[in-house]
Amino acid sequence: MKIDLIAGARPNFMKIAPLIKAIRQRQSENKAISFRLIHTGQHYDVNMSGNFFEQLGIPAPDVNLSAGGGSQAEQTAKIMTGYERLLKESTADLCLVVGDVTSSMACSIVAKKEKVKVAHVEAGIRSGDMTMPEEINRIVTDSITDYFFTTTVQAGENLKKNGVAEKNIFFVGNTMIDTLLQQRPFFKQPSFWSTLALNPSEYFVLTLHRPSNVDHPEQLTRLLTAILEHTHGLPVIFPVHPRTAKMLEALKPGSGNLHLTEPMGYLEFNYLVEKSKAVITDSGGVTEECTVMGVPCMTLRNSTERPETVTEGTNELLGTDPSAIQPALQKLFSGQWKRGTIPEKWDGKTSSRIVDILISTVL
C-alpha cells in the first residue's frame, strides 16, 4: 500500500514530518503501509526548505520535481507535468496532500485524473476570501478529494455544506501542532538573542507575506510605521519571507527597533514566538502555534480560515487597515489580552489518528 506524500512549500514541512513518524511507527509494527516522499520544489532554498528537513528529521525526498520559480500558473504546470510523469512510470494507491499551497492543488488534480485516490490533510477550512490564492487551492483540492482530514468540527461542517458525505470526513486535529508539541523541548535560542539583548516578553515577532500586505509599498510602509509607533520602543523582530524581501529592498525601512532577519529555522523561530510579548502576523500557521503556546497574536487580515484561533485561541483579527494597530497594542500593554484555550484534538496525536484511519478504512 503505497502513499505519495506531497510537500512543496514551508508550511507543508511541519505538517508532513509527524505523518512520516507515525507511518514509520506503524511499519515497525508490521502494518502494510509505505510511502514515497515527493518534494515538488515549490520552495527550494535552504531557509524555506532544507533547514526544515534537517530540524524536523524529515528524510530526503524520494523524488524532487524541481518545479520552483515562475508565476503561479507556470509553477502549477511544472508540478503537474512532473507528477503526471512520475505516476505514469510508477503509480501509487493514494496521494496525500497537506494544506493549501499550489503543490497541494496541482498534485491532487493529477492524482485524481490518474485514478489515484486523494487524501487532504487540513481539508474544509475556508476564509471566504477568493482573492487569496490559497482559498482557490483549498476549494479546488477539496472538490476532488476522497478522504478529508479536518482540524476542526467547523471545517467538517463547511465540507458538508458543499455536499461531502459525512463518512469521508475525519475530524482528527492538527498535524502542525503534532510538530509543535514534539519539537517544543528542542526550541533553540537564535544566535542574535544576545547580540540584541532580548528579554522574554520584551519584544515582538512580526511576519508578513500575504499579497494584500506586502505587494504594495504604501500599504507595507503604513503597517510598519503603525507597528513601530505603538510598540513602546521594544524590539520588533521581523524574519522576512522571500516575497516580502523584494519589496523591503526597495523600501529600505530604517528604525532602531525593527530588526530584519532571514526566514528563520523552525526551532529558532518558535523559541522566539514562545517567549515574545506578542506576535503580529498574516500567516495562518503562526496563529495556530500562538494559540497552543498561549502567545497573544494579532492578525493583519480581514478574514481567517482558522476562526478557532480567534473564538478559542489568543488570536484577534485586526484587518489590514493600520489604524487598528494602536488600539490592539494598547489593549495588550494594559494587560487586557485574552488568554484563550486549546482547540479540541490539537493534542499532538493527530498524525497517529490519520495513519490509523488510512490503515483501517482507506487502504
Only segment of 16-24, 150-158, 250-258, 264-272 that touches ligand UDP (CB under 6 A): 264-272
209 is annotated as an active-site residue: yes
| Catalytic member of 39, 120, 209, 259 | 209
What lies within 8 Å, CB to CB, of 55 at 6+ separation is 183, 265, 266, 267
Counting DSSP H helices and E strands in the chain, the numbers are 16, 13
Residue 314 near ligand UDP by CB under 6 A: no
CB contact at 8 A, 174 and 288 = yes
The whole-angstrom separation of Cα 16 and Cα 239 is 23
Q: Is 283 in the site for ligand UDP (CB under 6 A)?
A: yes
Contact code string over 192-221 relative to ligand UDP, x by CB under 6 A = ---------------x--------------
Interface with ligand UDP (CB under 6 A), residue from 3, 95, 96, 286: 286
313 scored as a contact of ligand UDP (CB under 6 A):
no
Residue closest to 260 by CA, chosen among 325, 208, 302: 208
Q: In this complex, which beta carbon is closest to ligand UDP, that of residue 55 or of residue 145?
A: 55
Nearest CA to 270 out of 208, 179, 348 is that of 179
If one asks whether residue 299 binds ligand UDP (CB under 6 A), the answer comes out as no
Do residues 140 and 116 touch, judged by C-beta distance below 8 A?
no
Q: Determine if 138 is a binding residue for ligand UDP (CB under 6 A).
A: no
- Beta strand ranges found along 156-312 (DSSP E): 169-171, 204-207, 236-239, 258-261, 278-281, 297-299
Query: Which residue in the set 5, 10, 292, 299 belongs to the binding site for ligand UDP (CB under 6 A)?
Result: 10
C-alpha cell at 295: 502567545
Size of the site for ligand UDP (CB under 6 A): 15
Q: Which residues bind ligand UDP (CB under 6 A)?
A: 10-11, 14, 207, 239, 263-264, 266, 269-270, 283-286, 289
